[in-house]
Amino acid sequence: MKTVDFLREITRLRGLSGDEGLVSAFVAQQFAPYCDEVTVDVMHNVIARKKGPGKKVMFAAHLDEIGLMVSKIEDDGSVRMGSVGGVDPRILPGQRVTVFGKEELLGIIGAKAPHLLSQEERGKNYMREDLHVDVGLPAQRVKELVQIGDQIQLEHRFTELQNNRIAVKTCDDRACVAMMFDALKRLQDIRHDADLYFVATAQEEVGSRGARTSAFALEPDYAVALDVCHAETPGAPQGTMKLSSLTASMGPYLHPVLRSKLMDVAKDNNISLQTAVVPRYTSTDADDIGSARDGIPTVLLELPLKYMHTTVELLDGKLLTEGGRLLAQFAAAVKEDWEDELWT
C-alpha cells in the first residue's frame, strides 16, 4: 500500500478517543508485514517491533480522533451533542456526520435558521448546545436506534488539491502514523542496530493516556514523538511554521542532545527541518513519554497542518514520505555510544 493510500484509509475509520479498536486493528494489519511482531494492548495502543541488538527506540504517533457523542434526544428526534476531545462548535453547522447507534445513521448538523435569530443571538457564535443532529427519522424511531453516549463521527472527505496538498479529517495525528508506516517500509532495506518500536498510541486527545502506559511498559532508551503543529495561515501569529517543512521542536521538555542528533541526520540526508520553540509543556505525547518511569530522553518531530481540528485539515503530502525517510535514517543512525553523549 502506498503511504498516501494508507492515509486515505486510516482517516476514514472510526476511532474516537477511548474506542480505537477498528483503527488500531487496521494499523496492526498494515504494520505487520514490515515488523517482527505486532501487538495491540488493552488500551488499543498498537506496538510494532522491528528487532535489533542495540538501544531500544520508541517512535510514537497517536491514532485516536476527536468527535462527538449523543448527550440528549429531543422530543422531535433531534440529537444534541457532547464533545470527545477538542471540537470547535463553529465548524459544525452544515456538516454531515454519522451517528453510531444500533444502526449507522447519516445525519446533518443543523441550527436555528438566521431568519429566526434574535438580534442578541446574531451577535454571538454558535455554541454546541445550540446545534443538533437531524437524522430524518421520527422521534420514536430515533429513540429506538440511538441512546445517550453513542458516538458521532465527523464526515470523511479525502480531497487532493494542487501542489501535493491533501485535506481530510484526522490528519491530527494519523498523518504521523502514516509517516511511521512509510518508515517501516523503508527499513526493509536499511540496516539498523537499534531495537525499534513503532507505537500508534490511543487517547491522546483526552490526555495522552496511551503514550503514558506504552512508554511505561516498553521503557525505551530514547523516544521520538510525532504530532502536528500549526502551519501558516492568514492572521496566524508570527512564527507559525511553514507548511512545506517538518518541524523539530525545542524546549525544556525535549532533550537537546537527542534533538541535535535528529538535526544531524536530517542534514546528512538533505531533509529540511525548521525549529519551533516550546517554552513549557508541548501538549503532545512527548510530555508523557519523557516523564515515564525515571525519565526517557525524548524529541518531538511535528508536521505542519492548516485548519487543525476540522474536517479539512490540510498538509503537504510530500512530507509524509520525507518524514518516513527521516525516521528510517534516524533509526539506522542510533548507536550504543549515544548514551555517553546524551549526558555530557
Grid cell, residue 286, equals: 512527548
Grid cell, residue 81, equals: 451533542
Note if 65 is an active site residue.
no
Give Cα 339 distance to the centre of its chain. 30
Active-site position among 20, 204, 205, 313 = 204
Using alpha carbons, select from 3, 5, 19, 7 the residue that is nearest to residue 169.
7
According to DSSP, the residues that pair with 37 across neighbouring strands are 49
State the number of CA atoms in the 13 A half-sphere of 109 facing the CB: 27
Q: Where are the beta strands (DSSP E) in 169-306?
A: 195-201, 222-230, 246-250, 273-277, 298-305
| DSSP run (H or E) holding 49 | strand 46-50
* Contact in structure between 307 and 314 (CB atoms under 8 Å): yes
According to DSSP, the residues that pair with 16 across neighbouring strands are 65
By annotation, the residues acting in catalysis are 204
